[in-house]
């Protein structure tokens, strides 16, 4: 995969990879094919990617699009976030 991903406590974390591709790789690598997948994500494109990937495996799919952070995503200001991050790093260096 292009980005790190890992499996822990029955949860597959796909990072910034295509979620459907991560799932297919996981199945093939582990020779594991569950009866049902419950997938939650804040992006519809990832739900659709996983749904499409599962078609070939005959696995029941329940996809839930989480929208609880939509407003925060819309209002995210990367310049402000970077400034806040720099301030936190500076403060933590001096508080040790």
Q: Is 40 helix (H, G, I), strand (E, B) or coil?
A: strand
Cα Rg of the chain (Å, integer) = 18
Q: What is the pLDDT of residue 94?
A: 60
Alpha helices in 42-95 (DSSP H): 44-55, 70-75, 78-94
Q: Domain map of the chain by residue range?
A: 6-94
Residue 61's pLDDT is: 93
Per-residue pLDDT of the chain (96 residues; tens, 9 = 90+): 888 998 899 888 888 899 999 999 999 999 989 999 999 988 899 999 999 999 888 899 999 999 877 788 788 888 999 999 999 988 877 655
CA gap 95, 47 in Å, rounded: 43
pTM of the full structure: 0.66
Q: Which of 23, 31, 79, 94 is nearest to 55 (CA)?
A: 23
Q: What integer pLDDT is reported at residue 35 of this predicted model?
A: 92
């Amino acid at each position: 995969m292009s980005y790190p991903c890992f499996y822990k406590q029955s949860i597959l974390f796909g990072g910034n990879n295509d979620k459907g591709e991560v799932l297919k790789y996981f199945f093939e690598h582990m020779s594991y094919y569950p009866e049902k997948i419950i997938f939650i994500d804040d992006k519809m494109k990832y739900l659709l990617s996983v749904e499409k990937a599962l078609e070939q495996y005959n696995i029941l799919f329940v996809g839930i699009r989480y929208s609880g952070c939509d407003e925060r995503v819309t209002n995210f200001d990367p310049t402000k976030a970077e400034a806040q991050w720099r301030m936190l790093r500076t403060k933590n260096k001096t508080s040790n």
